[in-house]
Amino acid sequence: MTDLHVSYGAVRAVHGVSFAATAGQVALVLGANGAGKTTSLRAVAGFHKPVSGTVRFAGRDITGVAAHKVVRRGMVLVPEGRKIFAPLTVEENLRIGGYAAPRGSLAPGIAQVYETFPILGERRHSQAGLLSGGEQQMLAFGRALMSQPKLMLMDEPSMGLAPAMVERVLSGARAMADTGIGVLMVEQNAEAGLRVADTVTVVTRGETVWTGTASEARADKAVVHAMLGEAALGGV
């Protein structure tokens, strides 16, 4: 994504954001509330049409392509707040996630999700709304995996979770990247995000202000602290 500009009517929410994601890596996007992170992610996923800028995926320009077509090309968004289907069972949620997957891949896909997140296998017949927050986030990951994505966009996966569950959920994101999937993750919890990330982009007031590796971000604390604030980085 290069030099993206996105507006809501007369309000320009994003004006010059650029970042990239690579297969097998976690690309972390950091920034405070209102920085333009979620808007940028939703524009990449096809939910907002950019005013200008370019979104490229797998070598093709997909700027402004509708969200359902983006999914069929191999990119899927795990939204903020998980957005699972609470009245349905775990397995029913996974089956819905597999609607765009190749024919014959549904059962193997579900089996793979249960292997990646064993707790979901144990809860397969439970109503999704009865799961804990962390389990619901794992279900959101699993539902996204059912489309056999090449790139997963994750919007604030640790939001609202207890500290112990934050580690489990973000470790799950790292595990998915280790299978070869690209992960582009927006997070406010910089301390936890940096532990699983490979690259980092910092967004402030709708603009990209810093990019580098996660190790550089950890080593260059003064720069990242100045952009995010002491509280955001905690003990990094």
Q: What is the DSSP letter of 150?
A: S
- Strand-pairing partners, residue 4, are 17
Q: How far is the CA of 93 from the CAs of 10, 123, 199, 216, in angstroms?
A: 38, 12, 31, 39
Amino acid residing at 185: M
Tell whether 159 is covered by a domain.
no
Does some domain include residue 88? yes
Residue 123 burial (CB count, 10 A): 21
Query: Across the chain, what does the average pLDDT equal?
Result: 90
Separation CA 160–CA 66 (nearest Å)? 29
**pLDDT score recorded for residue 144:** 95
Residue 63 amino acid letter: T
Domain carrying residue 144: 75-148
Rounded to the nearest 5 degrees, what angle is found at the Cα of 161, between the Cα atoms of 156 and 163? Answer: 110
Q: How far apart are CA 57 and CA 67, in angstroms?
A: 13
Beta bridge partners of 5: 15, 52
pLDDT in tens, 176-220: 999 999 999 998 888 899 999 999 999 988 999 899 999 998 887
What's the distance, Cα to Cα, between the start and end of the chain in Å?
A: 28
Q: To the nearest 10°, the Cα dihedral for 22, 24, 30, 36? A: 50
Q: Is residue 118 part of a domain?
A: yes
In a domain? residue 128:
yes
pTM above 0.85, yes or no: yes
**pLDDT tens sequence across 116-143:** 999 999 999 999 999 999 999 999 999 9
Is 120 part of any domain? yes
- pLDDT class for 29, splitting at 50, 70, 90? very high
pLDDT at 235: 46
Of 183, 113, 121, give the one whose Cα is nearest residue 155: 183
Question: Would residue 91 count as lying in a domain?
Answer: yes
Domain assignment present for 214: no
Number of compact structural domains in the chain: 1
| Nearest Cα to Cα of residue 171 among 217, 144, 134, 200 | 134
In a domain, 109, yes or no: yes
β-partners of residue 208 are 203
